[in-house]
Structure 1
Amino acid sequence: MKRAALRRHSKYRTDSTRTSYMLANAEFKQLNDRLYNAYQYHLQDNLNSVFTNELLDPQDVAAATRNVPRLMASDSQIVITDDMVKAAGMDLKCSTGCGPDETPSLVIKRCIHSLATPLTTVFNRSLRTGVFPTCWKDSYVFPVFKKGCKRVVSNYRGIAALSATSKLFELRVLHLLTQRYVQYISPDQHGFISKRSTTTNLTCFTSFVIRQLENGQQVDAIYTNLSAAFDKMNHQIAIAKFDKLGMNVNLLLYYTIKQPKDALFLQQQLEAFADWCQLNRMSLDVSKCSVISFSRRSSNINFNYALAGVQLKRESTVKDLGILLDTKLNFKDHVAYIVSKASSQLGFLFRFAKKFKNIYCLETLYCAIVRPLLECASVLFEHQHTPPQPPIAPVPENPSCKD
């Protein structure tokens, strides 16, 4: 949307604005190149240190998969057809860049009817032989800033840009595995599940908490953090679980606290989670784990939860999937946060587009930059928070805008 708006603005741009934009882009590119060259070696060492190649004993693998049900080998055969490849090809995202194969996803998507048969042959052969083509394993890894100081290398996450063909293969296999093993996936799972998202996850959780608060109860929630969970996943354990079926562990890290023994039960659940992480070679970052007690009572049960012998920090506000949750769950902190962020973006938009004359261009930029900040997961707090006054100033009319 932002690109479309800028294209519309290009019809009305002047030589002065064109020159200023070219100079700003050139200056930004030079600064970005200098920063990347200065940190590329540090980033490479940091990202390489994330990946592990630990070889486990069969006893350790068996202990990590002991709760996984076993299916007959004949039930695990996966066969891909041309129609499946065509359907997966139409689901490819065309907004991402090329991978190491230098083939845009758009080319695969538009030529999928011609490529379906040869790709089906390659995919099925890979599944039968258990060999994944080496060229599909290559990827472009680039750093994406998470939070904190931008000069600290550990505050960046490595993102891999895969080849379009390997992504197509992944889409098809994921769909088949989800269909076959959906009955073994916890109903509380929202990540990587069709028609579910972070919003549905937060809606279920906050609905549970609000019901308990309305009944005068207290809810303790423990937030844990796994260091580079996807990158440090042990392949031996993952393959062993897929050989049997998939993970089947039931854990609950939030619980209604009516009396001290309820807090002890939650502590036992936390210890079980720590044991599961140790068995599956997952690294817990205890420094990023915390606990929060949701309650509207005058006095609460403050239990000192511990993980790996370290007492967890007790927070008054936590950020859960981008939403700030406070102890009373009235979302005042989150509303203030998004209003401040939206006001900042609106000010930037006014400064950047003060010479824009097309009203539709301004509307498109507003809907692309400012409005998503205000509407993200608004279903959670629109009925829980009533601001005493309009939290954000209305957009003033621009007399230079034309219909």
Structure 2
Amino acid sequence: MQCTECTKLYHLECLSIPSNEDDPTTSTWLCPQCHGTQKLGNNDNTLVRYNPNITVRPGKRQVLNSPLKASDERPITRDEMQEIIKDVVTQFQKTMRITISDILGTELKSLKEEIVDMKKSMNFIYTKYESITKEHAEANDKIKLLETENGALQSKVEDFLEQTAPYLSKDQILKSMKSLDLNKGPGPDCVPPLFIKACVDELVTPIYLIFKKSLKSGLFPDVWKSGKVVPIHKADNVEVVEDIEQFQCDVDRMVNWCRDNGMYLNTNKCYRMKFSRKIKSLNTSYKINGDIIKKTEEVRDLGIVFDKKLTFVPHIEHTLTTRAYRML
């Protein structure tokens, strides 16, 4: 509100006056200083000079949120306001840019180091991969070369075997088959010589091919090494032969029992041993699934070595002596 006398401006809140522009008293309002009676003297009759241009209290502080004085009042143009805002925003952006750069530089330093280490590791792996690929290609070339050389060597071996193999013709086989003794018994295949001699014309070709392939490869069927033995009792007690047959039957029943109960015997780990002190004892063969059981002179069972004469000499030599040496 403006005083009509001294034209000074006062804040409505400081004057505790409600803001009402339609109030007629605002056009004739006087400030407290102009409204009051000017003091021309005091009690000691000292004249007081009154001059409105003289500041009575020069050190008086201006009221907060009060309008500017008439001498300081100057409107700010839009361009000046834009320049001020632009300077403030530019300074803020510069400060934020520096702050963000410092934060990112600090936080991303460790990440940058990890990326550098990862790059070195990838380069190392790539180098190793190239070397491994090169070695693999060289190995493949060597394998192909070896396969070629192996094929050539096999062909040479086959040619050599054909040249060095004994000569065999169908006529020789036919002559041997026709000269079979009809009084002989059949072999493991249970085919009698009479049947072979009667069908000699049909059997000569497949038998010739089998013999030729065996001679060429150097391999022969294991069944050719076995034969059917029919014991003929000549002397001594005939019950011994019956005991041998009975024992083979017991072995067959044991094998059948194991098979029925889900246990399969490994003939390579099965051995037979005859307990006897005779110098010349009867030597017999027993089979498991058609394979002859190997013969052994001693066997170890539950830590004890048994020999066929039950002298326990191998047990003393192998077990007790070794244990005594360990104790020493």
TM-score by length of 2: 0.27
The structure whose Rg is larger is 2
* Higher RCO (CA 8 Å, separation ≥ 6 residues): 1
